[in-house]
Copies of this chain bind each other. A is one copy, B any other.
């Protein structure tokens, strides 16, 4: 059973139990509005793998988004259960049970999905037939991420033809996402990576359209690069996810020329031990944030650094002369990587100023099937 929330609405932030996942609503709302403005002219389909929270998806759609992306069928189901009517599963779905669930979902919402293999397209067609639905399918093209996706050009054309020739599938365009480019540190590196990706996406789109396969959607882009995709004239739809929260790793990117997104996501933690001068231990460790992108940062405490995490502890180093958090004092940490950190929590504790305004369930927490 999920744990009870660590807070109640109206409660002062100081009383919220720790560790908790905090969302600064003012910063979050500004981030949602800023992206909605920045995407002007293109369809915005934010990635729900970042938040896994229908309450957030509803607010993104209210601000103009056309729907959301998901990575897993169970994540998509949580979004549809939460009232979202248009979900792109921006990923390959493999295995009979998953395909059956995906096709069933298409009875309740507009569902599209990616493929990078003709056999998989055949399996999708079978699942759609069995469920009595028609699925929108995008061909994933590897534009530089070196993960999934067919090669640009002819391989994409062959697969698009297979999709278009499948009775229960509709060819809907190409998926061209360059994940590896999002965290290149300089704007110039990110711009150069997306210029290469754009060449591959454009060439593929042109080839397909020359062959009579209309690419209704060319979809991709993330928080780190969306300006370049939107300026390329190739993409028709943007999929950024992290912009609503931001994190320590995105904070290490350079951002000149980009609109400003603010840190809105924090881990609320208590200083639980201060055994010797210069060392304070907090109650948020490896199970309270994801360490794949390094240690969290300590917000608003100059000279205090999170230097080491173990399962349930974080060790802070306090520089000489800096004020150390006192035992029992609570502080905010900025997670290294927002997406897998959110996936550790059942609740987002949403606050404004110094008090809790709402508790939003992370409904798709753990939904990786």
* A287 CA / B292 CA spacing, docked (Å): 10
Q: Which chain B residue shows the least CB distance to A279?
A: B146
In the bound complex, residues from chain B placing their C-beta under 8 Å from that of A98 are 17
Q: Name the interface residues of A290-345: CB closer than 8 Å to any CB of B.
A: 290-292, 309-313, 315, 327-328, 337, 339-340, 343-345
* A310: contacting residue among B92, B151, B179, B328, CB under 8 A: B179
In the bound complex, residues from chain B placing their C-beta under 8 Å from that of A340 are 286-287, 311
* A368: contacting residue among B116, B312, B366, CB under 8 A: B312
* A149: contacting residue among B2, B15, B275, CB under 8 A: B275
* A337 CA / B3 CA spacing, docked (Å): 24
Q: Is A204 an interface residue (CB 8 A)?
A: no
Q: Name the interface residues of A350-369: CB closer than 8 Å to any CB of B.
A: 363, 365-369
**Number of residues in A with C-beta < 8 Å to the partner?**
69
Contact present for B311 and A270 (CB under 8 Å): no
* A30 CA / B309 CA spacing, docked (Å): 31
* A273: contacting residue among B92, B315, B363, CB under 8 A: B92
* A343 CA / B366 CA spacing, docked (Å): 10
Q: List 22 A-B contacts (CB under 8 A).
A: A1-B363, A3-B366, A15-B97, A17-B97, A17-B98, A19-B369, A72-B283, A91-B312, A94-B271, A94-B283, A94-B328, A116-B273, A117-B274, A117-B327, A146-B279, A147-B313, A148-B275, A149-B273, A179-B310, A284-B368, A312-B368, A345-B366
- Extra inter-chain contacts (10) besides given A3-B369, A19-B368, A92-B272, CB under 8 Å: A6-B369, A17-B98, A19-B369, A117-B274, A119-B327, A148-B272, A149-B275, A287-B340, A343-B344, A346-B366
A: which residues have CB within 8 A of B? 1-3, 6, 15, 17-19, 49, 71-72, 74, 91-95, 97-98, 116-117, 119-120, 142, 146-151, 179, 270-276, 279, 281, 283-284, 286-288, 290-292, 309-313, 315, 327-328, 337, 339-340, 343-346, 363, 365-369
